Amino acid sequence: MAARVLRLSLALLAVSTLVPTVFGDVGNNRFIEINRQLRKTKNDAKLASQRLSLEESAVASSTKQQYRFLNNDTNKYLVNSLPLVKGDIGEMYSGNIPINTKDPSRTLFFIFQPTVGPKVDEVTIWLNGGPGCSSLIGFFQENGKFLYAPGMYEPILNEYSYANLTNVLWVEQPVGTGYSTGKVTARNEADVGRDFADFFLNFQKTFGIKKFKIYFTGESYAGMYIPHIANEFLDRNNTDHFDVGGALIIDPCIGDCDYSQVTVPAVPYIQKNNLILGLNDTYLAQLVAQDQKCGFADYRKKYLVFPPSGRQPPTPKDFDSDACDLWSASVEEILRVNPCASVYNILEQCPYKSNIMSDPYPDNPIYFARADVKEALHAPAEQDWSQCASREVFVDGDQSLPPNQKVLPRLIEHTNRVVVTNGDLDYRILNDGVLLAIQNMTWNGKMGFQAEPSQPVVLNLPLLQWADSDAAAGNSELTDGPQGTMGTQHYERGLLWVRANGAGHEQPLYQPRMSYRQLQYVLGRIDKL
């Protein structure tokens, strides 16, 4: 109604500029009457606009009163809107919180989205990898309330957001990542764990959180972060603030990330997927010969077995020599065939998709580098933001042991609710490499899986994300049905391993229903996939 009144007042204003010419002296009285009506209409429009503004303010105030985590300390973190995001963003907070309140210069940046579903006393932490890559990748392109994936024109509602299930906390860490501030001091994952635990305690105190279950989710190098941070939580022996309930670790580095997880399984992966990769027969034969010569074929034959044959040997010092670095060599050849290829999803083809996080179209700047976005998120205005850090986030590289040696087994044994999952289109962290890492790990009294994974994953979740598009194309019957068999799973002694069909490195982006289902399991909403 206010909009109609305003349009009418503008129309009358336009007419008033013509009245003296049209009516002349004869119509002066009529002109005065029209101006009187115009003033009344403008006053009515102003009053209507004021009423509407008051009504909207009252609704907003009433809604905010229902916000669970809004208090005097959190009000400064409340996010009211996000540029380009349409509609109500709901209850959301973001900003920087000190790691140590005595040193406010070192902070971690967070976004906190309370669940849009029933209230739950839990916090689910999401971490991206790198090291040094922003967890806002997960927030905006994988599992946040809004999805702005590569190639998309604008953000849309994410039907499979983790926030539909739980209170989600995305954190940019370690120091040196994203909007986080301060001097880089971490030398290993133990340092990262201590910093994160200190930050998280300050976060909980600020938001009035106590006696919540804590769950970890993340991908890639978060396979290093999560078990070590969880280990620090367990060391603190404080269930008021560090009560770890489980973890979902996606396409993770959990063993020897460069050797047994990537180089050793590279050639059979290429053979299996060469219809996509398109390497010629001559080059493929050379790879197979070098795979045998470098000892990788024998390594797989001996150690990629169920049950495991024994402890795997230390990483050879020369495994990444020119002759044996078959993964890097194959990537170069793959790029000759397909200049737009990606190790994170082997289906990628030219042209490149605009990516709002790192490489957008020229007229569309990197989203989190925008001044208005920084202001909306209470981020440091002077802080340069990039998807992955331009500086090292460890003083002299990460000196930590692989998680499968100690801290990951401890996490599994404590919770008996850990999922390790991998996408079959990921050529950065390979499925067989993850299995090799598992077969070299001892937990709950035994080493590795005793049986080879073979049970299918059948997803019955309906299609929600693109249902409107399917309906418009006349395929509405597809939206209500199950997705079907979408992978392979295997469970032993508190650890569930899942291979996700059709998923690249960022599984929540490529197979959101699979990722959503796995989170349901970790949170205890379901007992099996």
Give the catalytic positions in this structure.
220, 426, 505
Q: Cα separation of 133 and 187, whole Å?
A: 17
Residue 370, C-beta contacts closer than 8 angstroms, at least 6 positions apart: 83
Taking the alpha carbons at both ends of the chain, their separation in whole angstroms is 50
> Of 84, 231, 207, nearest to 146 (Cα)?
84
Q: Cα separation of 17 and 9, whole Å?
A: 13
> Of 427, 405, 407, 451, nearest to 261 (Cα)?
427
Q: Cα separation of 287 and 524, whole Å?
A: 44
Q: Cα separation of 374 and 61, whole Å?
A: 24
Q: Cα separation of 384 and 282, whole Å?
A: 47
The token duo for 17 is 């500029």
> Of 310, 346, 318, nearest to 430 (Cα)?
346
175 in Cβ contact with 181 (< 8 Å): yes
The phi, psi pair for 320, rounded to 5°, reads: -100, 25
Q: Cα separation of 477 and 54, whole Å?
A: 45
Listed in sequence order, the DSSP H helices in 24-167 are: 28-65, 136-141
Pairing of strands 455-459, 484-492: antiparallel
DSSP helix/strand/coil, 292: helix
Residue 406, C-beta contacts closer than 8 angstroms, at least 6 positions apart: 231
Q: Cα separation of 157 and 148, whole Å?
A: 9
Give CA torsion, residues 408, 395, 174, 74, to 10 deg.
130
DSSP helix/strand/coil, 66: coil
Q: Cα separation of 496 and 169, whole Å?
A: 23
> Of 384, 403, 427, 7, nearest to 225 (Cα)?
403
Give CA torsion, residues 232, 237, 242, 248, to 10 deg.
60
- Written as one letter, the residue type at 78 is L
> Of 108, 111, 335, nearest to 201 (Cα)?
108
The two counts, helices (H) then strands (E), for the chain are 17, 14
Q: Cα separation of 422 and 401, whole Å?
A: 21
Q: Cα separation of 117 and 434, whole Å?
A: 34
